[in-house]
């Protein structure tokens, strides 16, 4: 093992579960990862950390057989393996659980676990599915993993957290030796995260090696045994979680971080707020949230998993109830907000889950750009393509949406262009305020920058924005002011110009104000 592989071997003289040997990957002349030498020991949870574009996704793709390294090779349990395809990775005992769920909602838990390989029996000479055997196998697997879930239950009836756990159960049905977990908690509530962590610990105790991809710092010290950091395609270091601190990991991830760079904008006039929230509370989600939002301001919400960011936005928008507190929009007290009412007043909301909550995938880009504004652009209650066309054309032009044909299903577009469709849909309502909840999730670097430029441009024209992101560096780059949340409470207010990334992480984790 090379000097770069500095984690302690926990399995005695046995070979590491995974070893990268001088691995490099080049795309069109651009280096994604450069000469990675590192090993992951068996039967442990290895966190893989790095900011967006660091190269960690490329390493995972190499392990999963999605891409081949340009140089170097990979050893699995001491044996050099060619992982040219996902089938090769599967044969090597490697299974990937992706961030995007791949379950079929209309099928049962058991059907999803054994889809394509369900046991059969002969009935009158015909081969049919042995449903009793399918359910029995699934029940045994779930029981072995310590899961109390009915295998006959439809996946559509499960929570997102339970669905994520079924994804892992499905992977474990193949009896992998190595499990790659890609952002498994990104859409989970705190109670669901703990259930998932209990499952991960159980798998570790059974000897499964896990590579855990995340950017949520608070999870590392609860679930990971080691942390490996990649920065700008290079291996920076590997540390034992018991021997490190959040500050050390942040330093490895980002190096010497300069203050966030944002375009020069005129100062915000904070005389009369467009949105005023006082002591907003919902039991189990958030408590005593108070803030004012001003025209042309970009207000950031920072916080780790379970901090209540999305829950607050949904309650203000009227999608979820709240227990107490007051909301005032453009000088008008709102006693019982509903999405229809808030939209009519001038509030737009781009949700964090664009595929399910922000778009209708089977409809065209044209239709999706008009959904929120139908009442505004209709003529006497009548909707026609010719009436909608100017609104569609304007957003495609203004937002630089790459769409070959606006009448094709929106599902045919890239993640970045889909996100622009979501934003354009709400801009067509001529809003006064927009909530941007994780607008850069799942988009490439170029689309991310374009989305930020859209937000800056709209703010410069007077639109008030609330910007939520799990990527703290994005908040420093985009926002004018940042409210820090921890456990559903406001714990700090940060000035992006005067705050660096390390300090913002500290605020989110420790709840200390400046």
Residue 256: per-residue pLDDT:
62
Helix-strand-coil split of the chain, %, nearest 5: 35, 25, 40
Token reading at 258: 């300069």
CA dihedral 42, 255, 416, 436 (to 10 degrees): 110
Residue 215: per-residue pLDDT:
67
Nearest to 223 by CA among 241, 249, 205: 241
For β-strands 71-76 and 45-49, DSSP reports them as unpaired
Nearest to 48 by CA among 281, 261, 236: 236
DSSP for 302-358 reads E--TTS-HHHHHHHHHTSS--SEEEEEETTEEESS--HHHHHHHTEEEE-S-IIIII
Residue 194: per-residue pLDDT:
82
Residue 307: per-residue pLDDT:
86
Domains of the chain: 18-254 (3.40.50.300), 273-346+431-513 (3.40.50.300), 355-430 (no CATH)
Nearest to 166 by CA among 231, 103, 81, 210: 103
Distance CA 41, CA 146 (A): 25
Task: Give just the sign of the alpha carbon dihedral 386, 387, 388, 390.
Answer: positive
Exposed, middle or buried by CB within 10 Å (0-12, 13-18, 19+), for 319? middle
Distance CA 499, CA 3 (A): 35
228, 237, 309, 453 from 69: Cα distances, Å: 19, 20, 39, 34
Distance CA 366, CA 385 (A): 9
Residue 12: per-residue pLDDT:
39
Residue 9: per-residue pLDDT:
42
Residue 253: per-residue pLDDT:
83
Distance CA 242, CA 221 (A): 8
Q: How many CB atoms lie within 10 A of CB 222?
A: 12
Answer yes or no: are the C-beta atoms of 429 and 348 closer than 8 Å: yes
Answer yes or no: are the C-beta atoms of 250 and 49 closer than 8 Å: no
Question: DSSP 3-state assignment of 206?
Answer: coil
Distance CA 325, CA 133 (A): 53
Distance CA 204, CA 332 (A): 55
Answer yes or no: are the C-beta atoms of 445 and 475 closer than 8 Å: no
Residue 277: per-residue pLDDT:
97
**Mean pLDDT, consecutive 10-residue segments, the chain of 514 residues?**
40 77 90 94 94 81 94 95 95 88 91 93 90 95 88 90 87 92 74 83 93 80 94 93 89 64 72 95 94 96 85 95 96 93 95 85 92 80 81 90 90 85 93 94 73 92 93 89 93 92 83 47
Token reading at 185: 């908690």
DSSP 8-state symbol, 382: B
């Amino acid at each position: 093992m090379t000097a770069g592989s500095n984690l302690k071997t926990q399995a005695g003289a046995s070979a590491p579960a995974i070893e990268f040997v001088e691995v490099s990957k080049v795309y069109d002349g651009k280096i994604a990862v450069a000469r990675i030498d590192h090993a992951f020991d068996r039967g442990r949870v290895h966190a893989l950390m790095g900011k967006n574009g660091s190269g960690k996704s490329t390493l995972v793709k190499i392990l999963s057989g999605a891409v081949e390294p340009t140089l170097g090779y990979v050893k699995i349990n001491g044996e050099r393996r060619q992982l040219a395809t996902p089938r090769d990775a599967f044969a090597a005992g490697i299974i990937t659980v992706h961030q995007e769920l791949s379950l079929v909602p209309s099928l049962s838990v058991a059907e999803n676990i054994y889809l394509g390989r369900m046991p059969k029996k002969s009935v009158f000479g015909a081969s049919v599915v042995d449903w009793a055997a399918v359910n029995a196998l699934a029940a045994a697997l779930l029981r072995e993993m310590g899961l109390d879930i009915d295998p006959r239950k439809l996946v559509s009836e499960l929570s997102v957290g339970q669905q994520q756990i079924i994804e892992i159960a499905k992977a474990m049905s193949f009896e992998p030796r190595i499990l790659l977990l890609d952002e498994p908690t990104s859409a989970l509530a705190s109670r669901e995260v703990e259930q998932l962590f209990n499952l991960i610990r159980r798998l570790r105790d059974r000897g499964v090696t896990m590579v855990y991809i995340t950017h949520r710092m608070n999870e590392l010290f609860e679930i990971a045994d080691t942390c490996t950091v990649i920065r700008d395609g290079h291996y920076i270091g590997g540390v034992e979680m018991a021997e490190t601190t959040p500050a050390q990991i942040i330093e490895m991830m980002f190096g010497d971080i300069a203050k966030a760079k944002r375009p020069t904008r005129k100062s915000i006039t904070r005389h009369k707020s467009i949105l005023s929230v006082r002591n907003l509370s919902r039991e189990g989600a958030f408590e005593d949230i108070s803030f004012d939002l001003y025209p042309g301001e970009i207000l950031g919400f920072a916080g780790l998993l379970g901090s209540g960011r999305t829950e607050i936005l949904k309650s203000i928008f009227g999608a979820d109830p709240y227990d107490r507190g007051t909301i005032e929009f453009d000088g008008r007290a709102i006693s019982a907000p509903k999405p229809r009412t808030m939209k009519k007043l001038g509030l737009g909301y781009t949700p964090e889950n664009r595929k399910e909550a922000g778009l209708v995938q089977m409809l065209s880009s044209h239709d999706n750009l008009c959904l929120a504004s139908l009442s505004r652009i209709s003529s006497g209650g009548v909707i026609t393509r010719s009436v909608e066309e100017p609104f569609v054309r304007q957003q495609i032009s203004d937002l630089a949406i790459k769409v070959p044909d606006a009448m094709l299903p929106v599902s045919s577009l890239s993640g970045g262009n889909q996100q622009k469709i979501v934003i354009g849909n709400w801009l067509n309502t001529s809003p006064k305020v927009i909530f941007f909840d994780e607008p850069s999730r799942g988009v490439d670097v170029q689309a991310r920058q374009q989305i930020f430029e859209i937000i800056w441009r709209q703010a410069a024209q007077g639109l008030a924005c609330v910007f939520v992101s799990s990527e703290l560096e994005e908040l420093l780059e985009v926002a004018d002011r940042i409210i820090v949340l921890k456990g559903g409470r406001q714990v700090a207010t940060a000035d992006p110009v005067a705050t660096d990334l390390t300090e913002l992480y500290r605020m989110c984790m420790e709840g200390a104000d400046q």
